[in-house]
Amino acid sequence: QGRHLSLTQHSPNTALSVVLVSLPFSSLTLVTFLASVCFQEYCENIITVLQRLDENKILVCGTNAQIPKCWHLVSRRSTNMTCDLVSSCLEPIFTNFVQSDDLIFMFFREKRVGTKNWEVDPWISRIARVCKADKGGSESDLFNKWTTFLKARLVCSLPSQNLHFNRVEDVSIDKSNMSSETRVYGIFSNRWNSTAVCVYSMGDILNVFKNSNFKGFTGKIPDHRPGTCVADSQRVPRDTLIFISRHPEMEQPINPIGGKPIIISKQHYFKKIVVDRIVGKAGLISHVLYLATENGKIQKVVEINESTFVISEIKVLSKPGPILSMFLDSQTKHLYINSAEELERFPMPQCFRHTNTCENCVMARDPDCGWNSIRKQCETFDPKGKMTMFSSRPAQ
């Protein structure tokens, strides 16, 4: 049975429109995937996020005719707050919203301020965060605006080769174990149609927002540090509200683990990513990356200790074209994919693709698969069964 939420479609000129959906709260993670079926040329406002904050309040974010906004939905007919996402950003393009404990993280790219040099990419990638309990400021300061909005630069580059990937395309986070050890995987692109995958530590991200200086400010920071989560944001000191409205950016950037991308591709233009975390034999942890290319194929890539190798490449669409969104059900191991014309579901892993000999199965190095010595076939790995699988670390 479960409680249901209904969003009704209005005319394109209204603030909240586009999607008509009724679903239990436990299925809210699917809404971002489903909303992308509505194509840009037909939609004035695409709902990109539905996130339950508590039993009575849901965060709703949408493109709002290219002026992104968020709403706190408290009933089917009313919202108690509208938050402008662009007042502190320059022409932002939002890609992902993720929650962790009492925070919501936003990934986006925006135009650089005052850049006129044609050799410099006009875009820069960002991560921002706000507190879930943020209800906006008082009537005199930041009324109906975020009081805890902070942003930082998200760096993905290979300085030794002067390669910079400044345009975040998509982000995936392993949500099975949200902590400071959680890894954030992002696809980034540049002007030369190359793409890269960079990995970040949630601990590093939290540390920057907690301890970094504020860009463009050298004086004394208010005693109530700007961005600190409180129970009632409307009682935050006025000097803190004025400060955060003028200096929302962190001085310290967020760099990837290892200081460089784990993948750089000139051959494939990656657009979407989802990540699965797998614990194999002897507790070896590996992350499986599913990367969607611009022509509708999926690359399955395994990452262990910043080393990567491609397991397989699968054609998932009957007609070549970009994949608009992907969603991985980690419990059933199904990958949901949609394009402009197709909606597909694929079982992952596909161990049958590894030729049925023990050697071929094991040397495929697929952490999802193992050799069943009783049935003499390559099967989905069962940690309780007696199976042979690849367990050594890949070559550096």
State the pTM of this model.
0.80
C-alpha–C-alpha distance, residues 257 and 205, integer Å: 11
Give the model's confidence band at 375: pLDDT under 50 very low, under 70 low, under 90 confident, else very high. confident
The DSSP string of 218-253 is -SPPPSS-TT---S-GGGS-HHHHHHHHH--BBSS-
**According to the model, what pLDDT value does residue 26 have?**
37
Q: Write out pLDDT tens, residues 64-84.
A: 666 667 777 765 544 444 555
Residue owning tokens 């996130």: 51
Provide the pLDDT for residue 220. 93
The ranges assigned to domains in the chain are 37-86, 91-266
The answer for 366, left when phi > 0, alpha when psi is -120 to 50, beta otherwise, is beta
Mean model confidence pLDDT for the chain: 79
Architecture of domain 91-266: 7 Propeller (2.130)
Q: How confident is the model at residue 122 (pLDDT cuts 50, 70, 90)?
A: confident
Distance CA 4, CA 278 (A): 32
For the beta sheet containing 387-388, the strands, ordered from the edge strand earlier in sequence to the opposite edge, are 377-380, 369-372, 387-388
pLDDT at 168 over 90: yes
Compute CA distances 300 → 82, 263, 282, 291, whole Å: 40, 13, 23, 7
Q: What is the pLDDT of residues 231-284, one digit of tens each?
A: 998 889 999 999 999 999 999 999 999 999 999 999 889 999 999 988 777 677
Evaluate if residue 24 carries a pLDDT over 50.
no
Q: How far apart are the first and last CA of the chain?
A: 51
CB 249 within 8 A of CB 216: yes
Among 395, 364, 396, 393, which Cα is nearest to 379's? 364
d(CA 43, CA 46): 6
Mean predicted confidence (pLDDT) in 352-375 = 86
